[in-house]
Amino acid sequence: MSVKPVTITITGAGGQIGYALLFRIAAGEMLGSDTRVRLHLLEIPQGVRAAEGAALELHDSAFPLLAHVDVFDDARAAFSGSNVALLVGARPRTAGMERGDLLAANGGIFGPQGAAINAHAADDVRVVVVGNPANTNALIAAAHAPDVPADRFTALTRLDHNRALAQLSAAVGTPVGEIRDVTIWGNHSATQFPDVEHATAAGQSVPALLAARLGGTEATRAWLVDHFIPRVAKRGAEIIEVRGSSSVASAASATIDHVRDWVRGTSSGWTSAAVVSDGSYGVPEGLVSSFPVESVDGQWRVVQGLSLDAFARHRIDASVAELVDEREAVRALGLL
């Protein structure tokens, strides 16, 4: 059992994903059953009561690993001593809001939060941005934290990754736990590229299995373009349509997967995370883009040397172009 609890800051803790996250973290599912946790819940004033209610329920759950829960409406206090920061709270897009308005509203959240992390978080802080537009929000937060190494800022594409695993599992008839080496490239948006080229199912090539099932490589490409890629990329909209509300438990689960693998390491192939690009695969340096990643010694490393055909290149370039546009837009707004 760890002596000193790990401090985890959760922003938007009074919201839906926050509610789905808190109890799993306190139960030890994120950092393990040997690690005590201290939770810092950050909300805006209107959300504080909901976070306080969640804190009461956390107490009532009597989690042995839960050392402490505090609720804050001040980012500096909430990030004080933070080892893991889950930036979930964001400004949603509302009717009539232009993209620039959305980026500006979120810049007003993620800039100050990045600065508070810079000034008050622990030296080993790890940040994952869930609130949308997640990649660019992470870019803004990182830009306001010049003393924190850029590789500590990430954005969540693990939900997209998990969605891709689930779709492939159903398509090739292999249990989801035996699907490996799928990649989400680019932005957590409809332009993302879920890539199965190097994926395996129980050790067999997924493209080969799909070709055998669908009747050849051309039929496979058509299935990928017409069904698989849009289904994964637009799954969030499908969930809203069916459930009447956006993805919550699956988003919380993916956040837990992301942090668990980051801290404890990946063991069976790679996963996907949006990390600050070092220029790998031609993605401009500094953009927060999703890549195939492995976690080694507590750090994400981009898997190198994967071959990309013209189709993959085109898809990655399109999503990266969107990230470049978002970066230009936030630069123009003075947010970087």
Residue of 159, 184, 259, 323 interacting with ligand NAX (CB under 6 A): 159
Closest to ligand NAX by CB, 137 or 200: 137
Taking a C-beta distance cutoff of 8 angstroms, is the pair 129, 141 a contact?
A: yes
- Which position among 37, 43, 143, 322 is part of the footprint of ligand NAX (CB under 6 A)? 43
**Residue 200 phi, psi (nearest 5):** -130, 155
171 binds ligand NAX (CB under 6 A): no
| CA–CA dist 243, 151 (Å, integer) | 35
Q: Cβ atoms within 10 A of the Cβ of 312, count?
A: 17
Residue with tokens 């249990």: 175
Q: Would you list the DSSP string of 151-195? A: GGEEE--HHHHHHHHHHHHHHHT--GGGEE--EEEB-SSTT-EEE
**Helix extents (H) in the chain:** 16-26, 48-60, 75-78, 99-120, 134-143, 158-172, 206-214, 217-223, 229-233, 235-243, 249-264, 310-332
Contact 145, 112 (CB under 8 A): no
In 3-state terms, what secondary structure has residue 41? strand
Measured distance CA(31)–CA(220) in Å, rounded: 39
Cα R_g (the chain), whole angstroms? 20
Nearer to ligand NAX, 131 or 292 (CB): 131
* Residue indicated by tokens 């220029």: 279
**Residue whose beta carbon is closest to ligand NAX:** 15
Minimum distance, C-beta of residue 151 to ligand NAX, in the bound complex (Å): 19
Q: Is 161 a catalytic residue?
A: no
Binding flags for ligand NAX, 1-20, as an x/- string (CB under 6 A): ----------xx-xxxxx--
C-alpha dihedral sign at 177, 295, 12, 93: negative
Binding span for ligand NAX by CB under 6 A among 37-45, 179-187, 257-265, 314-322: 37-45
Q: Restricting to residues 187-206, which ones interact with ligand NAX according to CB under 6 A?
A: 188
Nearer to ligand NAX (CB atom), residue 106 or residue 295: 106
**Segment contacting ligand NAX (CB under 6 A): 60-68, 131-139, 225-233, 276-284?**
131-139
CB of 329 to ligand NAX, least distance (A): 17
Applying the rule CB under 6 A, the residues between 59 and 98 that interact with ligand NAX are 88-90, 92
Q: Which is nearer to ligand NAX, 67 or 248 (CB)?
A: 248
Site for ligand NAX contains 164 (CB under 6 A) = no
**Which of 35, 169, 204, 246 contacts ligand NAX by CB under 6 A?**
246
The active-site residue, picked from 188, 198, 227, 314, is 188
Rounded-to-integer distance, Cα 273 and Cα 255, Å: 10
**Shortest CB 70 distance to ligand NAX, Å:** 14
- Which residue, 118 or 246, has its beta carbon nearer to ligand NAX? 246
- Active-site positions read 188
* Residues found near ligand NAX in the complex (CB under 6 A): 11-12, 14-18, 42-44, 46-47, 88-90, 92, 109, 130-132, 134, 156, 159, 188, 236, 246-248, 251
